Amino acid sequence: MSSLAAKTLDLAFRALMVRDLSTHDKLVKQTRRLIKFVRPPAMLPSGVTVRKTTIANTPGVPPGSPAYCVSTKNPTSTVLYVHGGAFICGVFSTYANICGQLAKRLNARVFWVDYRLAPEMPYPAPLDDVFNAYSALATDYPKQPLAIIGDSAGGNLALGTLLRVRDTVASGECDSSLRLPACVVAMSPITDFASELPSRKANAKSDCVLTPQIIQFAGEMYLNGHDPRDPYVSPVYGVLQGLPPIMMAVSDIEAMRDDVYRFAHCARKEGVRVEILSRDDVPHAWPVLYSILPEARKDIAEISRFMRTHLQTDSFIKGVASGRNAA
């Protein structure tokens, strides 16, 4: 049974959101308006600091992608956080809590990247920014393990970046510092833009955030006519062999349920270790809401356990130069 906080949040989302939207523009305006006013308290744990910075020299966007670095005093690992927001919005204050918790629990520096957004900057701009950010962090911290974590649209970008890193490393046409992350966490990601998976309609009423129309509009603005079966945008169609361990989080009442289980099934068939963190009755991408939901506080501990285990062992760095075991 979900907590009182989860039930209250469900009602709040339903009251604030117009779920039947007629145009792309109305979705953009609603989502960006809500993200400005519906923010959890931004509190960092003791011993964690935050600073504005830039990472990755993205062509045409000097001097790089804006970012926030949330860090302990002497971090031993580096994490790239990729925010959600239907590819069209996202602000750091929403994520300060989860980034601070990850930094504290993992003794890490966590970079929250402010990638370019659709519809003004559709694919490949968001993926380019995340990939370039990861590549820059691999160069800046060559002797430390890396991880990627993202929620919702950010979970999609995390998986797309993972495949692009694997392919780039396998090609040999990259800086020697580029390597696979020790692990990836994708919370409530969309993994298939080309299919109408059953949970999107079956859970249309129980998901208080996403509807089939919102998913369709967000996808159309992000893809902007690009092939929806491209593995970098729909990773379920990719060759998944050789990927590091992945954790996926999903609620059984949300639209993205089948995206998660289908990707996990395909990845496991190719020998990838995939853990699924699931709950019965919580909102889409609930772990982000650390300061609001008791379920999120419990599950961030589980996500941190998974990441810490693989950041400490990191077999994709140890014993294999530049992670080229990924081919």
Sorted by where each begins, the domain ranges of the chain are 4-311
**Could you tell me which residues come within 8 angstroms of residue 290 by beta carbon, excluding any fewer than 6 positions away?**
40, 97, 98, 101, 296, 297, 300
The total number of residues written for the chain in this structure: 327
| Beta pairing, strands 49-55 & 65-71 | antiparallel
**How far from the centroid of its chain's Cα atoms is residue 198's Cα?**
22
The residue type of 326 is A
User: What is the per-residue pLDDT for 326?
Assistant: 36
Q: How far apart are CA 261 and CA 263, in angstroms?
A: 6
Provide the residue type at 173 as one letter.
E
How many CA within 13 A on the CB side of residue 180? 29
56: Cβ–Cβ under 8 A, 6 or more apart, which residues? 64, 65, 113, 129, 132, 133, 134, 135, 136
User: What is the separation of C-alpha 230 from the centre of its chain, rounded to a whole number of angstroms?
Assistant: 18
Top-level class of domain 4-311: alpha beta
For the record, the structure tokens of 57 come out as 């020299």
**283, 251 in Cβ contact below 8 A?**
yes
What's the whole-model pTM score?
0.94
In tens digits, the chain (327 residues) has pLDDT values of 789 999 998 998 888 888 888 899 999 999 999 887 767 777 899 999 999 999 976 555 566 899 999 999 999 999 999 999 999 999 999 999 999 999 999 999 999 999 999 999 999 999 999 999 999 999 999 999 999 999 999 999 999 999 999 999 999 878 788 999 999 999 999 999 999 999 999 999 999 999 999 999 999 999 999 999 999 999 999 999 999 999 999 999 999 999 999 999 999 999 999 999 999 999 999 999 998 999 999 999 999 999 999 999 875 555 443 434 333
